[in-house]
């Protein structure tokens, strides 16, 4: 963020399953902390990263915090665009219905609740990625 | 955009995913363990060759040498570069993406 | 330094946040406030309870601007503003109220 006041397009790219490594949780924390900086943020989930968003995670048996619930707070942090690659889901036997519902409330539209999760194909994701000023990989 | 790949394609899918999502005319640099992808006749060679039709693909020479991989045996048309050129590449591109 | 309340000892981190969120009970909040020279009224409890519910649902302590907005939505605009919240919690609504609520330090508090 070299020039003050310049809004940059940032994409966080998530490609690892949760719990086995620290990447998923670290990424989420960076997103939450970074949300204070008023940038144009979006998140992408591809490859094993799609497992971060599955519904019904229960970590009681592994003694770790179930941070999947925290993704549903992203709307409060004004992170409203979350892209999941369709090809990655399909390759893993998953579909949109296996994922948590993620929404945000649109301040400019009388706080109407809108979906923030978007399933996109490789071509669209490639296009979005190429448009970014900065890409953070996790 | 410059895509940086440092993991072996035989161990991780970073190169696969990068080639799936890189846009035409983007650049890809193979370094550290990713240089093993450059060997001609490997299971990866074909898709690398195909990618080179639309992307500029580079491989870091010192990492090839460190692993005893002769330049003569890498996929034809791959550009072998040194550290200075690595730095220059990152400057030439507005954005870089590290595929972990 | 452990916190002693009603003959029980509770582990805290170096900044006084409760180590184990599950050990929390209302008496701890009163004791922490007392140590800060404050006394908790209904308005304080409204925020503390809100934070505990937020954590239960999202597994995070909200950043202060997220807290302010969410309080405004739930309890009304006259409470969803920094002035009101800082008057209740002069050490910072997110930090101080989270501490009393037994939550970890808010993510996004740099």
The reply to whether residue B97 touches residue A129, judged by beta carbons under 8 angstroms, is yes
What is the domain range of residue C88? 3-100
Classify residue C66 by burial, with Cβ atoms within 10 Å: 0-12, 13-18, 19+. buried
Q: What is the greatest pairwise CA distance in chain C?
A: 41
Q: C110 lies in a domain?
A: no
Q: Where are the domains of chain A?
A: 9-137
A9-137 belongs to which homologous superfamily?
A: DsrEFH-like (3.40.1260.10)
Structure tokens given for B34: 């990713």
Q: C75 lies in a domain?
A: yes
Task: Indicate which CATH number applies to the domain containing C77.
Answer: 1.10.10.370
Instruction: Over range B44-59, report the average pLDDT.
Output: 95
Q: Which of C59, C62, C66 sits opposite A67 (nearest CB)?
A: C59
What's the pLDDT tens digit per position in A7-61? 999 999 999 999 999 999 999 999 999 998 889 999 999 999 999 999 999 999 9
pLDDT at A3: 56
Query: Cβ distance B90 to B96 under 8 Å?
Result: yes
Q: C109 lies in a domain?
A: no
Residue A87, chain B, CB below 8 Å: the answer is yes
Task: Give the whole-angstrom CA distance, residue C83 versus residue A94.
Answer: 47
Domains in chain B with CATH codes:
2-99 (3.40.1260.10)
What ipTM did this prediction achieve?
A: 0.86
| Neighboring chain A residues of C59 at a CB cutoff of 8 Å | 65-67, 69-70
Split into its structural domains, chain C has a count of 1
Q: Quick one: pLDDT band at residue A4, thresholds 50, 70, 90?
A: low
Q: C106 lies in a domain?
A: no
Task: Give the whole-angstrom CA distance, residue B86 versus residue A134.
Answer: 19
| Neighboring chain A residues of B13 at a CB cutoff of 8 Å | 47
The reply to whether residue B100 touches residue A126, judged by beta carbons under 8 angstroms, is no
Structure tokens given for B56: 């500029």
pLDDT above 90 as % of chain C: 73
Residue of C nearest to A26 (CA): C107
Q: Quick one: pLDDT band at residue A1, thresholds 50, 70, 90?
A: very low
Q: State the catalytic residues of C.
A: 109
Q: How far is C49 from chain A (nearest CA, A)?
A: 18
Which run of H or of E encompasses A84? strand A82-85
Task: Give the whole-angstrom CA distance, residue A45 versus residue A93.
Answer: 15
pLDDT at A36: 86
Q: C82 lies in a domain?
A: yes
Beta strands B2-5 and A134-137: pairing type?
Answer: unpaired
Residue A83, chain B, CB below 8 Å: the answer is no
Q: C107 lies in a domain?
A: no
What's the pLDDT tens digit per position in A61-78? 998 999 999 999 999 999
């Amino acid at each position: 963020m070299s020039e003050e006041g310049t809004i940059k397009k940032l994409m966080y790219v998530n490609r690892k399953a949760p719990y086995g490594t620290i990447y998923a949780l670290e990424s989420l924390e960076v997103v939450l902390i970074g949300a204070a900086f008023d940038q144009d943020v979006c998140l992408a989930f591809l490859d094993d990263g799609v497992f971060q968003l599955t519904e019904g995670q229960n970590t009681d048996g592994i003694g770790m915090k179930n941070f999947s619930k925290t993704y549903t707070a992203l709307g409060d942090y004004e992170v409203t665009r979350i892209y999941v690659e369709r090809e990655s889901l399909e390759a893993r036997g998953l579909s949109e219905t296996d994922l948590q519902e993620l929404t945000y409330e649109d301040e400019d539209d009388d706080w109407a609740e809108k979906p923030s999760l978007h399933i996109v194909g490789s071509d669209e994701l490639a296009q979005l990625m190429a448009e970014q000023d900065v890409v953070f990989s996790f | 955009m410059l895509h940086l790949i440092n993991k072996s394609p035989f161990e991780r899918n970073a190169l696969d995913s990068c080639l799936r999502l890189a846009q035409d005319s983007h650049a890809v640099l193979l370094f550290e363990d990713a240089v093993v992808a450059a060997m001609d006749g490997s299971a990866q060679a074909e898709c690398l060759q195909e990618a080179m039709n639309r992307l500029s693909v580079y491989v870091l020479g010192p990492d090839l040498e460190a692993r005893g991989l002769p330049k003569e045996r890498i996929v034809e048309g791959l550009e072998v570069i040194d550290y200075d050129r690595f730095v220059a590449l990152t400057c030439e591109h507005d954005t870089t993406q590290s595929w972990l | 330094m452990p916190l002693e309340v009603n003959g029980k000892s509770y582990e805290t981190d170096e900044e006084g946040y409760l180590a184990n969120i599950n050990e929390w009970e209302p008496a701890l909040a009163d004791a922490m406030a007392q140590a800060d020279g404050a006394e908790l009224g209904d308005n304080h409890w409204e925020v503390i309870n809100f934070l505990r519910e937020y954590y239960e649902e999202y597994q995070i302590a909200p950043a202060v601007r997220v807290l302010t907005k969410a309080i405004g939505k739930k309890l009304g605009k006259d409470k969803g503003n920094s002035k009101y919240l800082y008057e209740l919690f002069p050490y910072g609504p997110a930090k101080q109220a989270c501490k009393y609520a037994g939550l970890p330090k808010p993510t996004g508090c740099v």
